[in-house]
Structure 1
Amino acid sequence: MILISSSLAFPFTRDREEAFWREESWRIELVANTLHPDIPLGRKKKKHTCLYGGGDIEWIRKFTLTAKAVAEDVGNLWRCCT
């Protein structure tokens, strides 16, 4: 709550938290701004953002390679067809 609403989160009570979530909607800015400062800029440029992670570093490496290959293929297809 502090990251999202700063001092407005105080006092920290269950009722305050429930009220906060009734007013707030889940959106990428809730987490993205604290992960990397360029994510909101990328969204303004209509770029896609994929948040992933976990404890299995091999899965993360495979996913990263696959995601990069797909993005490259889509980019090549787009350039080819426009």
Structure 2
Amino acid sequence: MKSITIHNLDGPLEAMIEEKARAEGLSLNKTVKLLLREALGLAPGGNGGRKADFAEFSGVWSEADRRQFEKKTEDLRRVDPRDWQ
């Protein structure tokens, strides 16, 4: 397995990583690996669940909402042959 070195971490980032490691009882190395896995969607709670991360901003439609949308946009799905002449 490859090792990497990260140079010149700014103070706030270093402090946040150390704080997370302390809170979770992990080494700095394990904490950084966990953060990378989460950020890349390789671990639960990371980007793998990205949809859930944005649900509050995009909303979730109920079946009734979907039916209402389909009904109100029905005419947009009809093709008028005159438009293609």
Larger Rg: 2
TM over 0.5: no
What is the TM-score with the length of structure 1 in the denominator? 0.25
What is the TM-score with the length of structure 2 in the denominator? 0.25
